[in-house]
Amino acid sequence: MRWTSCALGFVAWLGACSPGAQPSPRAAASEARVPAAQATASAAPSSSAVAASVVTPAQPARPAMAGEPPAILAWTDAAAVDELTRDCKFAAPQPSKDDGEPSALSCASGLYEQSCAVDPCYSKDQQECKPRCEKACGTCDARCSESCAACKTRCHDDACRRSCAVTCGSCRQGCLVEKDRCASGGCAAEYKSCNQELVKRWHQGGCPKGCKAYVSCTEKCQNASSCEGGGNQKACQKCTSQCAASLKRVCPEPLDQICMFEGTGPTSEP
């Protein structure tokens, strides 16, 4: 059960929790994380700006309506090859307003997630490592399209141009495979290393003792008569702010924020 005192110290912080943060391996520590649409971030946040967003399930691809062409699920699908025969630079369809998840043909597909957990390693994964995987995929994708265009310049019939498109489709699908390997291999390893460093810092300093004191302090604030039944909120917030100030003196960012939200420190298991 999530520790209840986080409600007082983090009401304003959770109010800012919304979809759109740029993701993670640490799902078991807090909330289940699932792929969700979001824009790529260009830089990691400072330690005081730990990522937080509402967990949102990925939306399944909308089935084709009557009269609509079938959805293209891979660059090697016949429909994708048809498009590449017409244009080697055919782009992955953009998601509709109802379907937030990027197309399966997109280099961003399956990379990003959302979570309300306080986890700086997760933030780094979503805002640094995953964008690198997406960028590398995009570079690979562009090379495939250029090779396809060069191939077509040597063609004199549609069969030849389609053959170029088939090769292009296989090439672009390979870029997606490498993107997935980057995310599941490289990014997972980076997350594990980051998390191990957090756990090490937690146990080397005064965070464990300071966090226990913070939990006890905020529980006293909650049990105070001024806080009962949603009483004097200013007095309650002042009380919990004093608890947080004591924690910050012995536990640096972002470890203090993990304690304030979770009631404990980072776990050794992501």
Encode pLDDT of 116-155 as tens digits.
778 899 989 999 999 999 999 999 999 999 999 999 999 9
Domain identity same for 23 and 119: yes
Highest mean pLDDT (candidates 106-115, 143-152, 202-211, 229-238): 143-152
Domain identity same for 126 and 18: yes
Tokens of 70: 């079938």
Q: How far is CA 27 from the centre of its chain?
A: 11
48 is in which domain, residue-wise?
A: 10-61+72-88+101-204
Highest mean pLDDT (candidates 23-27, 148-152, 234-238): 148-152
Give the separation between CA 203 and CA 264, rounded to whole angstroms. 12
Kindly report the average pLDDT of the chain as a whole number: 76
Domain identity same for 127 and 239: no
Least confident window among 39-53, 78-92, 208-222: 39-53
Residue in the block written with tokens 């009380």: 239
Asked if residue 132 belongs to a domain, the reply is yes
Domain identity same for 111 and 220: no
- Count of structural domains within the chain: 2
Domain identity same for 188 and 148: yes
Domain identity same for 152 and 226: no
Q: Are 5 and 215 in contact (CB under 8 A)?
A: yes
Residue range 47-95, pLDDT digits in tens: 333 333 333 333 444 444 444 456 788 999 999 999 999 999 999 777 6
Q: How many CB atoms lie within 10 A of CB 99?
A: 16
Domain identity same for 106 and 234: no
Domain identity same for 136 and 244: no
Domain identity same for 18 and 77: yes
* 96 burial level (CB within 10 Å; 0-12, 13-18, 19+): exposed
Asked if residue 262 belongs to a domain, the reply is no
Domain identity same for 199 and 79: yes
Give the separation between CA 66 and CA 64, rounded to whole angstroms. 7
Domain identity same for 245 and 179: no
Tokens of 166: 């088939």
Which residue type occupies 31?
E
